[in-house]
Chain A
């Protein structure tokens, strides 16, 4: 069974600060996804990383996939209150037919 460990579990910071969230595993993944979930809603895909060492940017969010494809990080620059939410990393071991394995998530609160 694949296990994705996310850290930190909770993070509360002031608007304008930078932060990094980590997703680690002992397993190798063909791809890894980051989702954001708001209360009362389902997760929404932010990015998919596929290649070891890959870096993707989405406005103030930077996603990195480890060289060995076992870990990933999400870095947010100049956090804003609208970034508040539950950030989840997820992975599928094979093609799209596989159900996703999710980490427990990072609960992020950005205080104005």
Chain B
């Protein structure tokens, strides 16, 4: 399909394990965002890429969280030494970037549900 895809859709990890979550944005979308959504809550911003450049990582909760987008398309969110409080749905979104300002619609993927035991 032409939408944002994420894999895996579900991930169960034991506490202390490392996990890697993948996001395939819509082709041609310059901007890519990661959000964390706890159960029953709204999404919270984690980090933002413009092409391969990570321009904002202010929402990453700790240095165990790391994101990359080396070629400006696919992105990976890595969580090291997972903790139970990391259990959440991780959403990826992408958007076009129009020079000159204005708000650009973000298109969301279905998310990866991470459960840390």
Contact = CB atoms under 8 A, between A and B. Distances in A.
Q: How large is the interface on B (under 10, 10 to 19, 20 to 34, 35 or more residues)?
A: 20 to 34
Interface string B87-112: 00001010111100111111111110
Interface in B40-77: 40-48, 50, 55-56, 59
Nearest to A107: B40
A31 B42 contact: no
A105 B4 contact: no
Interface of A is mostly: loop
B91 A97 contact: no
Nearest to B38: A104
B31 A96 contact: yes
Q: How large is the interface on A (under 10, 10 to 19, 20 to 34, 35 or more residues)?
A: 20 to 34
Contacts of A98: 48, 56
A50 interface: yes
Contact of B55 (A90, A92, A94, A97): A97
A40 interface: yes
B101 A95 contact: yes
Nearest to B10: A40
B102 A44 contact: no
Contacts of B104: 95-96
Interface of A: 6, 30-31, 33, 40-45, 48, 50, 88, 90, 92, 94-105, 107
